Structure 1
Amino acid sequence: METKEIQKLIDYISKSDLDEVNIETSELKLHIKRNTGATVQTTQLVAAPAPAALPAAAPAAAAPEAAAAPAVDANAGLIEVKSPMIGTFYRSAGPGKPNFKEIGDNMAEGDVICIVEAMKLFNEIEAEVTGKIVKVLVDDATPVEFDQPLFLVDPS
């Protein structure tokens, strides 16, 4: 079973009502268990702030939204290259080796732009777009989530 097939299976399970799945074949053994986090949600409801604190919190919440609007405009026209899987992000093929791509480098569809390690497998991530790398959004050797933006690319 390939990584993309496993990721599709995980996505399907996350959208379903299943809490646990076991799959076993001659070449693969897969166990997925969902952490519902219901306790955390209940705790947050019990620990709600007093009504007197709400007016003070409302202006603070509005300020980040106003600050976020210019950031979206600054990235207008840029394409996000996202992680196709959960794992650890690496910009180079190994310690001491040059990064696959730097800010300002051009990339073509099919170029290897980084590696995401998942379960001791190093998966080369290929570009799905052509363009110029404007920003690297993830630090080297840090964990990434599925569909997390890794790079900003200018397609022009």
Structure 2
Amino acid sequence: MKLSKIQELLQMVAESGVAEVEVEEDDFKITIRQNGPTVMMQPSYSPPMHGYGMPQQPQYAPQPQQPQAPQPQQPAPAPETSAPAASPSTSDSAPAPDTDAEDDDGELGANEILVKAPIVGTFYRAPSPDSDPFIAEGDRVGEGDVLCIIEAMKLMNEIECETPGVIKEILVEDAEPVEFDQPLFIVDQS
């Protein structure tokens, strides 16, 4: 369809007061609406859109999710406010870790060392619920002896003794969750 014909159609629609006119010629189709500023032109046959055309448009629609991202950040200050609430319970936040370190040093004798958890997981004293524990308080252990198992993500990790000595104290209960670097045993090296 030529531009002159389209202009004639526009003028006729404007003069007649008709709300909408649709004209179709061969492989060309035009719709003219009186009440809107939009003139839509499209071929009468449009091949189906496969793959990239249609699915991508809805994927760009999640722009309203961007305002939702700051909302999770607003709850984040709530834990921050709970952190100061936890620090008054320990009196001063900075001296509390120093006090803990002093307590560890104060508890340990000259020949004693702490065996700490190398990973996060669940502490087990025995290889299975039916078995005897690997060690007990007062047992003498050598370098490479298995002290316990820490289960992490369904993997059983054997924790071995690095220095020989006597188990003075077991600091964790069986099947208790442990954190990285949490003290597990006190070993007397004398």
RMSD, aligned α-carbons: 3.2
Partner of 1:85: 119
User: In the aligned structure 1, how far is the partner of 2:124 from the partner of 2:86?
Assistant: 39
User: In the aligned structure 2, how far is the partner of 1:73 from the partner of 1:107?
Assistant: 24
Partner of 2:165: 131
In structure 2, relative to structure 1, the CA distance for the partners of 1:107 and 1:91 (3 Å cut) is same
Partner of 1:153: 187
User: In the aligned structure 2, how far is the partner of 1:71 from the partner of 1:90?
Assistant: 23
User: In the aligned structure 1, how far is the partner of 2:86 from the partner of 2:107?
Assistant: 37
Match of 1:40 among 79, 90, 97: 79
In structure 2, relative to structure 1, the CA distance for the partners of 1:44 and 1:134 (3 Å cut) is closer
Match of 2:164, as an amino acid? T
For structure 1, the 5+ residue unaligned runs are 1-36, 50-56
In structure 2, relative to structure 1, the CA distance for the partners of 1:150 and 1:39 (3 Å cut) is same
**TM-score for the superposition, normalised by structure 1:** 0.58
Query: Which structure ranks higher in relative contact order (CA pairs < 8 Å, sequence separation ≥ 6)?
Result: 1
Paired residues for 1:1-156 under 5 Å: 38-44=77-83, 72-77=105-110, 78-156=112-190
User: In the aligned structure 2, how far is the partner of 1:124 from the partner of 1:98?
Assistant: 15
Larger Rg: 2
Deviations 1:71-105 (A, max 9, x none): 74342221000111000000000012000000000
Say which SS state the counterpart of residue 85 (structure 1) adopts: coil
Percent identity over paired residues: 49
Shift of 1:41: 1.9
In structure 2, relative to structure 1, the CA distance for the partners of 1:130 and 1:46 (3 Å cut) is closer
For structure 2, the 5+ residue unaligned runs are 1-75
Aligned residues: 108
Match of 1:73, as an amino acid? G
Shift of 1:43: 4.5
Say which SS state the counterpart of residue 40 (structure 1) adopts: helix
**TM-score for the superposition, normalised by structure 2:** 0.49
Match of 1:41, as an amino acid? E
